[in-house]
Amino acid sequence: MKVSQTSGLRITKAGAIYVGMTLLLGFAAVNTGNNLLFLIVAALLAFMAVSGLSGWQNIKGLSAVVEFPDEIYAGGELFATLHLENRKRYLPSFLLDVTLPGGGSASFFMLPRGGSESELISLTFPLRGVQEPAWARLASPFPVNFFVRWSAIPVSGRCIVFPTPLPGEDDQQGGSPRWWGGENHQRKGGEGELRRISDYTGGEPLKMIHWRLSARSQELKVKELAGTVREPVVIDLNTLPGDPEERLSRGAWLVNKLIRDEGIPVGLRLGDKLLPPGDSRGHRLRLLAALGAYDPA
């Protein structure tokens, strides 16, 4: 995002009174020729100049880094960590307010020279896609609350905002998803219905030994159970209903539903690109990131 101005100044109510009083005394000194009034006006102007220089120096040499969470959805509130660093070698900074383009803000009372502080900020990204804020607005009333000086400071940080999950009509009514695909099949497992009794080979866990039959036959017998698993599912974005953005949102909902809630391995087909199935949390986040960064054009 481009910044039209890199710095600015805003006068407060107390500052307006101070400036007005200085101008009034200046006119009085000129009209009366009173040396004492000239000295008072000179002192007021000198104080204004010194406070101005120290105020601008206070907001210089600062930079920020934003640390985003790994799961961000468009339109949802998130909490990120803002790290503010003072790169000045000799001077600390005071009374700092930092505001990011996404609307989040944080306040810092003091930032030591060469040091850094961190604060949690609340952000909301209305659109999916890659978000990389390049600047933040830094403001401070230091040293006295006559003027609030602000400047744009550089920000490092990047995230991918996932599409807002959107269930299908059947799912909103409590039905089963229409686009799951895959079929159940039986295989040897640790849970499920009994398939058969077989001889103990030494590799089976002790809980699988059928002690009653083993006592009768005087040989160790083990139970083989049938574990029910679901075939991996590949979500084809082109088969989902709705416009391109709705398809991405429905795809995000399916990825979360199948992997996180059902434990089913899921792959994703985006145009000519195929992401193979997987069922780990890292794989789920990679699928959501691919949906968030996808350009349907």
Q: Are residues 197 and 265 in the same domain?
A: no
pLDDT grade for 34, boundaries at 50, 70 and 90: confident
CA distance 182 to 287: 19
Give residue-wise pLDDT tens across range 110-128: 999 999 999 999 999 999 9
Whether 223 and 255 share a structural domain: no
* Same domain flag for 134 and 194: no
Domain that residue 243 falls in: 162-183+231-297
Do residues 266 and 277 make contact, with C-beta atoms less than 8 angstroms apart?
yes
Domain identity same for 65 and 155: yes
Q: φ and ψ at 37, to 5 degrees?
A: -65, -35
Whether residue 132 sits in one domain with residue 77: yes
Same domain, 12 and 154: yes
Look at residue 226 in the predicted model and tell me its pLDDT: 52
* Residue 160: other Cβ atoms inside 10 A: 19
pTM to 2 decimal places: 0.71
179 falls in which pLDDT band (50, 70, 90)? very low
Residue where a domain terminates, one of 161, 192, 211? 161
Give the pair of three-digit tokens for residue 200. Answer: 């103990």
Residues 269 and 195 in one domain: no
Confidence category of residue 231, pLDDT binned at 50, 70, 90: confident
What is the share, in percent, of the chain residues with pLDDT greater than 70?
83
- Verify that 205 and 150 share a domain, yes or no: no
pLDDT, mean of residues 267-286: 90
- The confidence band for 1, taking pLDDT boundaries of 50, 70 and 90, is very low
Q: How many domains does the chain have?
A: 3
**What pLDDT does residue 2 have?**
45
Q: Is 66 in the same domain as 115?
A: yes
Amino acid at 261: D
Q: Phi/psi zone of residue 183: left (φ > 0), alpha (ψ -120 to 50 degrees), beta?
A: beta
Whether the pLDDT of residue 37 is over 50: the answer is: yes
Q: How far apart are CA 156 and CA 204, in angstroms?
A: 53
Tell me the Ramachandran region of residue 200: left when phi exceeds 0, alpha when psi lies from -120 to 50, beta otherwise.
beta
Q: How many CB atoms lie within 10 A of CB 58?
A: 24
Burial of 89 (0-12, 13-18, 19+ CB in 10 A): exposed
The phi-psi region of residue 251 (left if phi > 0; otherwise alpha if psi is between -120 and 50; otherwise beta) is alpha
pLDDT of residue 209: 75
Strands (E), 68-179: 77-86, 93-99, 105-111, 116-124, 129-131, 135-140, 147-156, 159-161
Q: If you count them, how many residues does the chain have?
A: 297
Q: Are residues 145 and 204 in the same domain?
A: no
Which residues pair with residue 105 across a beta bridge?
Answer: 99
The strand pair at 93-99 and 135-140 is best described as antiparallel
State the Cα–Cα distance between residues 39 and 33, nearest whole angstrom.
Answer: 11
pLDDT the model gives residue 230: 60
Confidence at residue 118, expressed as pLDDT on a 0 to 100 scale: 94
Which position has the token pair 């040897």? 188
**Most confident segment among 112-116, 169-173, 293-297:** 112-116
Mean pLDDT lowest among 113-117, 213-217, 270-274, 285-289 = 213-217
Q: How far apart are CA 289 and CA 248, in angstroms?
A: 11
State the Cα angle at 259 between 256 and 261, rounded to 5°.
75
Do 139 and 152 touch, CB atoms closer than 8 A? Answer: no
244 and 290 fall within a common domain: yes
What pLDDT does residue 173 have?
36
pLDDT confidence band for 193 (50 / 70 / 90):
low
Q: How far is the C-alpha of 223 from the C-alpha of 211, rounded, in Å?
A: 10
